């Protein structure tokens, strides 16, 4: 069974594919020319639903979308739903901007949050949420993953998401936690 991923992010596609492939679900990329819906929701869940519905309508296929972000306690949950748009530029620019905003903060507690929306062939919409707790470092460590991964330290493993092998990250991440919840729901629906 094919699901279209409402994203052009190749790293996100690989991560999602690795997690849901055991259900016999093949994740295919969003076709070029697909509309980019305005993410004007106020929560991760609302933005994920907006993206999944847009992809399903455009392709006629069941669709998956996630909306993920880093929530930092000392910044009242920022960057949150604006994580990918926290500042102009690249992942490195956003990491530098976050570190600048955290210069005088002692509390480094943070969490990655992921909401996944799934629009099934019959139009039913499912949402799940996963989180992963961590600590925000004061400098980048590692080159793996993407986004804020080089700053996100996981105490249990003694390293950042940027240093963890993908197969380990894919079992503990916020996205993995959300996808495992979704897998449990989809297991009955796709078989």
183 is in an annotated binding site: no
SS (H, E, C) 12-23: HHHHHHHHHHHH
68 is in an annotated binding site: yes
List the structure tokens of 126.
Answer: 């499912």
95 is in an annotated binding site: no
Other C-beta atoms within 10 Å of 184: how many?
10
147 is in an annotated binding site: yes
Half-sphere exposure of 95 (CA within 13 A, CB side): 19
187 is in an annotated binding site: no
10 is in an annotated binding site: yes
8 is in an annotated binding site: yes
Other C-beta atoms within 10 Å of 147: how many?
22
Catalytic residue list = 67
100 is in an annotated binding site: no
67 is in an annotated binding site: yes
Binding-site entries for Mg(2+): 38, 67
Binding-site annotation: residue ranges: 7-12, 38, 67-68, 146-149, 169, 174-175
Binding region for substrate: 7-12, 68, 146-149, 169, 174-175
């Amino acid at each position: 069974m094919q699901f279209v991923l409402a994203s052009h992010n190749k790293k996100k596609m690989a991560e999602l594919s690795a997690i849901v492939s055991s259900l016999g679900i093949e994740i295919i990329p969003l076709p070029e020319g697909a509309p980019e819906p305005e993410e004007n929701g106020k929560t991760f869940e609302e933005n994920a639903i907006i993206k999944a519905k847009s992809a399903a309508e455009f392709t006629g296929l069941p669709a998956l979308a996630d909306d993920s972000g880093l929530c930092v306690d000392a910044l009242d949950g920022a960057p949150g739903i604006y994580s990918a748009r926290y500042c102009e530029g690249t992942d490195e620019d956003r990491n530098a901007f976050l570190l600048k905003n955290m210069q005088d903060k002692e509390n480094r507690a943070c969490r990655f949050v992921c909401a996944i929306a799934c629009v099934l062939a019959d139009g039913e919409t499912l949402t799940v949420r996963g989180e992963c707790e961590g600590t925000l470092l004061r400098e980048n460590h590692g080159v793996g993953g993407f986004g804020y991964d080089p700053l996100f330290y996981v105490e249990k493993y003694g390293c950042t998401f940027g240093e963890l092998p993908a197969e380990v990250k894919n079992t503990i991440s916020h996205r993995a936690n959300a996808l495992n919840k979704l897998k449990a729901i989809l297991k009955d629906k796709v078989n």
